Amino acid sequence: MCFIAYDAPKKIFKWSSREIMVPKGQKRFVRRNLCVGILVGLFLAGCTGSGVQMVYLHFRPTGEMPSTQATTVGIVPFQDMRSAPQIIGKRIRVDGSPETIMLGSPNTGKDITYIVTRYLEAKGVRVVDLPSWRPEPESLKDLPPGVRLAVTGRIENLDVQADSNLFRTVVRYRVRLTGYLGLPERGEVLTRSVEISPQKTTVTFDVRQVEEDLNGAIMEAIGRLFEGVLSQI
């Protein structure tokens, strides 16, 4: 038996640079199909996902100049009063299926305490940790020397609800914090509860934007807790 080898003929393609004229009706058809394709792409993008969207709490600089007042504030960690600390809400996707929105950290109280500490430091305040402090007037006499303000609080609510359809996503936030501010020189403990409930509408769901908006609402709530107080110490 013998084999005969041969070279297959090569195909040569030549491209023409001549301009192709497209009728106006066909152009409208192409544009219409392109728009439909984009909408379908957005729909499919809204339908895909892992079922969990993760966000993280962090300090957002306010851009304010710190004061030169050398004041010492003592802080006790905030307590998280929510039943499910890591779950903060859900998103309804374009196809109607739900996604859980979760916090990346298991210790929300620690995260909020850190944010409050950074907020105070940005104001030019020296912050020290208090091992314990009951937010009652009679306990103010037991504070370390030099502490002009004692701070603790509770996280009452952190909630994010998002609804997506083919054309837009509506995200609703709810942040509720309670702060206890002890003023030793006045022998007084202030109790303040602040709730922030912003709503944002976007074209598509962006979890990083949701994270930024949530942290922005938390920063606004913290600012209101201390409104008019730091100037008194």
What are residue 103's DSSP bridge partners?
55
pTM to 2 decimal places: 0.77
Say whether pLDDT at 152 is over 50.
Answer: yes
Are 118 and 59 in contact, with CB atoms under 8 Å apart? yes
Token code pair at residue 170: 């509506």
Q: Is there a domain that residue 138 lies in? A: yes
Determine the pLDDT at residue 2. Answer: 40
Same domain? 56 vs 23 = no
CATH number at residue 125: 3.40.50.10610
Say whether pLDDT at 141 is over 90.
Answer: yes
Average pLDDT, the chain: 84
Q: Which of 48, 63, 88 is the last residue of a domain?
A: 48
Say whether pLDDT at 143 is over 50.
Answer: yes
Determine the pLDDT at residue 14. Answer: 44
Token code pair at residue 61: 């600089």
φ, ψ at 25 (rounded to 5°): -60, -40
Say whether pLDDT at 224 is over 70.
Answer: yes
Q: Is there a domain that residue 94 lies in? A: yes
Residue 198: CB atoms within 10 Å:
14
CA dihedral 41, 47, 50, 51 (to 10 degrees): 150
Cα distance between residue 1 and residue 149, in whole Å: 101
Q: Is there a domain that residue 156 lies in? A: yes
Same domain? 100 vs 207 = yes
Q: What is the DSSP string of 119-185?
A: HHHHTT-EEEE-S---SSGGGGGGSPTTEEEEEEEEEEEEEEEEEE-SS-EEEEEEEEEEEEEEETT
Lowest-confidence range among 69-78, 107-116, 152-161, 165-174? 69-78
Same domain? 61 vs 144 = yes
Determine the pLDDT at residue 175. Answer: 98
Same domain? 165 vs 114 = yes
Determine the pLDDT at residue 61. Answer: 80
Same domain? 83 vs 191 = yes
Same domain? 75 vs 185 = yes
Cα distance between residue 218 and residue 143, in whole Å: 28
Same domain? 30 vs 142 = no
Share of the chain above pLDDT 90, in %: 71
What is the mean pLDDT of the segment spanning 167-181? 98
Amino acid at 93: R
Determine the pLDDT at residue 66. Answer: 63
Determine the pLDDT at residue 6. Answer: 38
Same domain? 27 vs 83 = no
Burial status of residue 192 (CB atoms within 10 A of its CB: 0-12, 13-18, 19 or more): middle
Same domain? 28 vs 128 = no
Task: Give the domain extent around 123.
Answer: 51-232
Same domain? 36 vs 132 = no
What are residue 172's DSSP bridge partners?
161, 199
| Tally of domains within the chain | 2
Are 79 and 38 in contact, with CB atoms under 8 Å apart? no
What is the mean pLDDT of the segment spanning 1-10? 42
Same domain? 71 vs 132 = yes
Q: Is there a domain that residue 11 lies in? A: no
Same domain? 221 vs 140 = yes
Q: Which of 8, 31, 48 is the last residue of a domain?
A: 48
Residue 34 Cα distances to 38, 43, 167, angstroms: 6, 14, 16
Determine the pLDDT at residue 131. Answer: 86
